[in-house]
């Protein structure tokens, strides 16, 4: 696929024309620069939380070597191999949103080399790190695109899969999920991991200055949304998805990144699933079909 033929302006949604190493909007005239396989298609309408993502990647998350980036994500990588690979046969064109250092896109491309993979993120620095990880693993991701998830610069019905790990709660989920639905083909699938479902009463505490999410948002300025299972379900239904499935990810084996998180999941892994779904916070995996 030549992705350059299927791009739209993130602001006015008109087709972009490619020529002389530039992408030009056929309507508003905006010019977007290209640099190899990295495309900068950021909207003009950046929020403080979008800018905070870039600051976080430049000041809080620097890693001197791609291997350290991957070690930092070892729980997620183990979860990918043990929980996702047996369930999904990725094929066709795949878009990752909120790619960060692109470990997810890299592993999909390694395991399914015939796929066409586009990694996207609102942060330039994150995707520069992603390119380093991609080169280290020799996974050969096809394109890297700097863009907002709420304003994806791709034509309608372009992708067979859209994937994301721990990304929706950092965005406006209604807008992002609507965009995911728009760029998916008929019968296309969204696969999301590492989101949080939390009852509304607990969400107030979790998002306050006493909770991990609230403290992280105050410190970094990055949006930390907290939503119940019913809210997640309504967002996907409103966007038009069918066959929406939520699976609780409560195995402490994949929660070693923080001592409290590990202890919490050690406890709730022994409780009835129906009780956890109704009364407690838990990571979820999301599968939704167009």
* Per-residue pLDDT reduced to its tens digit, 225-274: 899 999 999 999 999 998 999 999 999 999 998 898 999 999 999 999 99
**Share above pLDDT 90 across residues of the chain, in percent, rounded to a whole number:** 77
Q: Residues of 39-50 as b/e, b for ≥16 C-beta within 10 angstroms?
A: bebbbeeebebb
pLDDT on residue 215: 81
Domain ranges of the chain: 36-289
pLDDT on residue 205: 77
pLDDT on residue 51: 92
Residues lower than pLDDT 70 in the chain: none
10 Å CB burial of residue 236 (0-12, 13-18, 19+) is buried
Dist. CA 100–CA 131, nearest whole Å? 10
* Per-residue pLDDT reduced to its tens digit, 83-118: 999 999 999 999 999 999 999 999 999 999 999 999
Dist. CA 44–CA 59, nearest whole Å? 23
pLDDT on residue 281: 94
pLDDT on residue 29: 87
CATH topology of domain 36-289: Rossmann fold (3.40.50)
């Amino acid at each position: 696929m030549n992705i350059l033929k299927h791009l739209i302006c993130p602001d006015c949604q008109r087709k972009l024309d490619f020529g002389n190493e530039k992408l030009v909007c056929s309507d508003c005239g905006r010019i977007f620069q290209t640099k190899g396989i990295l495309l900068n298609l950021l909207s003009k309408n950046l929020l403080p939380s979008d800018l905070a993502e870039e600051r976080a990647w430049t000041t809080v998350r620097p890693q001197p070597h791609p291997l350290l980036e991957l070690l930092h994500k070892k729980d997620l990588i183990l979860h990918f191999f043990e929980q996702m690979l047996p369930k999904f046969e990725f094929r066709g064109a795949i878009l990752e949103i909120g790619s960060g250092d692109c470990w997810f896109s890299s592993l999909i491309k390694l395991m399914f080399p015939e796929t066409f993979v586009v990694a996207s993120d609102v942060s330039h620095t994150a995707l520069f790190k992603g390119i380093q990880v991609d080169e280290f693993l020799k996974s050969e991701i096809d394109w890297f695109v700097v863009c907002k998830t709420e304003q994806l610069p791709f034509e309608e019905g372009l992708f067979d899969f859209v994937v994301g790990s721990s990304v929706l709660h950092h965005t406006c989920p209604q807008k992002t999920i609507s965009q995911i639905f728009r760029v998916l083909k008929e019968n296309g699938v969204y696969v999301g991991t590492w989101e949080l479902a939390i009852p509304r009463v607990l969400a107030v505490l979790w998002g306050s200055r006493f909770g991990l999410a609230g403290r992280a948002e105050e410190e970094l300025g990055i949006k930390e949304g907290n939503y119940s299972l019913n809210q997640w379900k309504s967002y996907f239904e409103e966007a038009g998805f069918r066959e929406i499935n939520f699976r609780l990810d409560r195995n402490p084996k994949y929660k070693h990144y923080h001592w409290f998180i590990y202890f919490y999941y050690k406890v709730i892994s022994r409780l009835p699933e129906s009780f956890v779904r109704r009364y407690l916070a838990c990571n979820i995996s999301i599968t939704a079909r167009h």
